[in-house]
Amino acid sequence: LSTPRLVEEIIRRREGVMAHLGPVVINKVEFESAADIGLYLVKEPSSENDIHWSDVVSPVEMESYQRIFKNLKDFLKGQSVYIQDCYAGSDASCRIPLRIITQDAWPNLFARHMFRHVNSEEMESFFPEYTLIHVPGFKANTGLDENVSENMILVNLLQKLILIVGANSSNAIRKAVFSTLSFILPKNDMIPVRCSAIKGDDGALSVFFGRDQALKNSLCLNTNYAFFGDDCHGWTQNDFTNMEWGCRTTVDGLDEIMDPKIYSATRKFATILENAGIDEKRHIIFERKNPKYHSIASFPIAHLQHADRSGVSAFPKHVFIIVKDSMGVLPAMGSLTREQAAIFLLLGYESSWDLSQSGEFPAISYLPFYNDDLAFYRESFYAGLLYEKLERAKTQCWILNAMPLGPRKNDSFVINLTLLRRFVSAIQSDKVHQLKWHMDSTWNYESVCGFSGYPETMLNPDIAWAGDHDLFQAVVQKLKNSFSNRLSNYKDDLSPAIRDALNWFEN
């Protein structure tokens, strides 16, 4: 169905309501992180020896899968479903034809926003390579011997079928598609990467890795550069391609002044707003986040001003790694070697006071490559593939610390987006020489120690911690020990170039 017809269906079925200026509000969609949605793979001879079975991806026997699929078909008998034919990917040489079937209308509209449409000429020869069926009302774990999650993604690589049951949020569809791509693409020397991307007037591409999608989008969308892609991309042998055709971002407490482009997109026809508030005149209200019900906006890339809709680019010129270091000991901005960048991405480090149990130090967490979809192979395999891409493209790598430097006991602050944006702009404009650099003796990479308009306490952790050097050293050592322990899990599997650089942060 077309976008207007899907909107009509959403309203007719009372799945949501239309707000002022035309967005569709879907309420009481419980927030589902990657950890809330179990990822399962049907165990079969053609793929089982390739898979790194772990707590991220669990096996399901073929007999159990067949029972689930039969029960699902019985559940859907007599029900209307919605079908969307589309492509994951913009590069015609490697895109994946998809057929997405949904129980409800609004997830089908989400799929239409997120993936490239099949035009009338392509439709004549279109045949889906993979079929995805999304049925949140069905519970797969009923009557099964195996212990499976109520909210689950079940992938059958042999039959090229993806089932999503129980999970109702838009995140489930996105995760299902890109988890499957994490198996398919490396077979052709491609790597799926989760990052936002922008393109300069000269065609130079900059990509942004980090766990906070809203922060990445804020950095990308508040520049004069064309917005290239929201989150899911493929780095191929020949180019860098957008694997989706829309944007999905958290909009808790969205501010018109700080994020004008996203704010504008949320007020356009058919934008999907999960858990947004509306007043009696149906004007949108973006409140601060509720842990159970986050506000999420999803819309096509066409809703954004100055978007690059080609979907295909030359290799990235710049990679920016955005780290939330609540420890307060990483420099605000730095330059990394490609080996260091590959290791930092393999770590996927973040720390937060909000999750701290002791109250003495922030809680440290890791999400390799800031990507919860890289599920089917060993993380060291993805690290090697990514390093090869960085090295081949001679990509320049940078690291940004989004958190304030120095001692703190909570995360109650406003991220200095202006500082981060100015740094990104300086790099993209080849004005690196206007910044003052030094070799950071603590972390062994070059960092910015002077930037017009900003005190050194905002840039250099040595200065920010000047009043308590002993505590600074203790916090640094705690973080270095955590890095070392984490990386020791990979050292035997990594390529020599990365393995030789594993201890780059040791003095």
Q: How many angstroms from the chain centroid is the CA of residue 276? A: 21
Integer Cα distance of 333 and 294 in angstroms: 30
Q: Where are the beta strands (DSSP E) in 115-253?
A: 116-117, 130-135, 152-156, 161-165, 191-194, 196-199, 205-209, 226-229, 232-235, 240-242, 246-250
pTM: 0.91
Q: Do 52 and 378 meet the contact criterion of CB atoms below 8 Å apart?
A: yes
Confidence of residue 255 (pLDDT cuts 50, 70, 90): confident
Q: Which whole number is the average pLDDT over 289-293?
A: 63
Assess whether pLDDT exceeds 60 at residue 224.
yes
Q: What average pLDDT does range 494-499 have in this prediction? A: 88
% of the chain at pLDDT higher than 90: 59
pLDDT of residue 503: 79
Say if CB 109 and CB 6 are below 8 A apart.
yes
Of 344, 326, 327, the C-alpha closest to 335 is: 344
Q: Are 106 and 26 in contact (CB under 8 A)?
A: yes
Least confident of 215-229, 244-258, 389-403: 215-229
The token pair that represents 378 in the structure block: 């060993």
Given pLDDT bands bounded at 50, 70 and 90, which one contains residue 25?
Answer: very high
State mean pLDDT over 466-484.
93
Contact 141, 67 (CB under 8 A): no
Residue recorded with tokens 């009302």:
137
Answer yes or no: are the C-beta atoms of 14 and 350 closer than 8 Å: no
- Identify the CA nearest to 92 among candidates 198, 302, 242: 242
Tokens coding 291: 């842990």
Higher pLDDT, 287 or 19: 19
Domain with CATH 3.40.449.10 in the chain: 3-14+36-188
pLDDT for 52 beyond 90: no
CATH code 3.90.228.20 region(s) in the chain: 315-499
Q: What are the backbone dihedrals phi and psi of residue 362, each rounded to the nearest 5 degrees, phi first?
A: -65, 155
pLDDT at 213 over 80: no
| Best CA proximity match to 313, nearest among 243, 249, 265 | 243
Question: Which pair of structure tokens corresponds to residue 36?
Answer: 């809330």
pLDDT band at 223 (very low <50, low <70, confident <90, very high): confident
Average pLDDT over residues 1-14: 96
pLDDT of 282 over the 80 cut: yes
Rounded distance between C-alpha atoms, residue 170 and residue 141, angstroms: 21
Distances (CA, A) of 254 to 113, 157, 311, 360: 21, 39, 27, 32
At 31, the pLDDT band (50, 70, 90 cuts) reads low
**What distances in angstroms separate CA 89 from CA 336, 409, 492, 505, one per listed residue?**
30, 43, 34, 37
- List the structure tokens of 7: 């909107």
Check if the beta carbon of residue 11 is closer than 8 Å to that of residue 282. no
The per-residue pLDDT for 480 is 95
pLDDT of 218 reads 80
* pLDDT for the residue 91: 86
**Average pLDDT across the chain, whole number:** 89
* pLDDT for 498 beyond 60: yes
Using the CB atoms, write b or e for 258-282: b if 16+ within 10 Å.
ebebbbebbbeebbbbbbbebeeee
CATH fold, domain 3-14+36-188, is: Phosphoenolpyruvate Carboxykinase; domain 1 (3.40.449)
Given CATH 3.90.228.20, say whether it is the number of domain 315-499: yes
Q: How far apart are CA 283 and CA 182, in angstroms?
A: 40
For residue 270, pLDDT over 80 is answered with yes
Predicted local distance difference test score (pLDDT) of residue 146: 62
Among residues of the chain, what percentage have pLDDT more than 70? 94
* CB-CB contact of 204 with 213 (8 Å): no
Single out the residue of 333, 398, 324 nearest to residue 367, CA to CA.
324
Look at residue 199 in the predicted model and tell me its pLDDT: 92
Instruction: Please give the torsion angle defined by the CA atoms of residues 243, 265, 171 and 137, in that order, rounded to the nearest 10 degrees.
Output: -120
What average pLDDT does the segment 163-186 reach? 90
272-274 β-sheet, strand order: 17-18, 24-26, 272-274, 296-300, 246-250
How far apart are alpha carbons 121 and 279 in whole angstroms?
Answer: 44
- Note the pLDDT of residue 147: 67
Residue 238: both structure tokens together? 């020949």
Q: How sure is the predictor about 61, in pLDDT bands with cuts at 50, 70 and 90?
A: very high
pLDDT at residue 344, as a whole number? 95
